[in-house]
Amino acid sequence: MTPISALKSALHALLSGDATLAGLLGGAKIHDDVPRGQLTPYVVFGEATARENGTSSDRGHVCDLTLLAWSRQGGSREALAIADRIGALVDDAALTLSGHRLVLLRVIATEVRRTPEKDLTRATLRLRAITEVI
């Protein structure tokens, strides 16, 4: 399993299992791709990259991944509340990854942006993980 796949699976399980986040989203609405007709708010996985970061004796990766929290409520309050909860859950989380060991997981940036033409707000969380192949 690639480190991105392993990381996404572990993050999905973590986020889907949190009652507080489910309360903010109105259910466990964490998606790899947005289902047709999905009502906001919801969270979707965005872009991801993995770069080799191993040594001569150990294989490892630096993974960058985005999570997007979408909201239709006026202003950015709801999207930022979702982003704050996700940040609290994932920053330094001790996740078990299939085929990899998680060394570090951090939220390295959070941004919020309005899309007025669609009446949506998006909070983007940029995550960085360092993993080792086991």
Q: What is the CATH number of the domain that holds 99?
A: 3.30.2000.30
Domain hosting 92: range is 3-32+39-133
How buried is residue 56: exposed, middle or buried, by Cβ count under 10 Å (0-12/13-18/19+)?
Answer: exposed
The pLDDT of residue 63? 97
Q: pLDDT tens, position by position, for the chain (134 residues)? A: 899 999 999 999 999 999 999 999 999 999 999 889 889 999 999 999 999 987 777 889 999 999 999 998 777 999 999 999 999 999 999 999 999 999 999 999 999 999 877 889 999 999 999 999 99
pLDDT computed for residue 35 by the predictor: 82
Domain total in the chain: 1
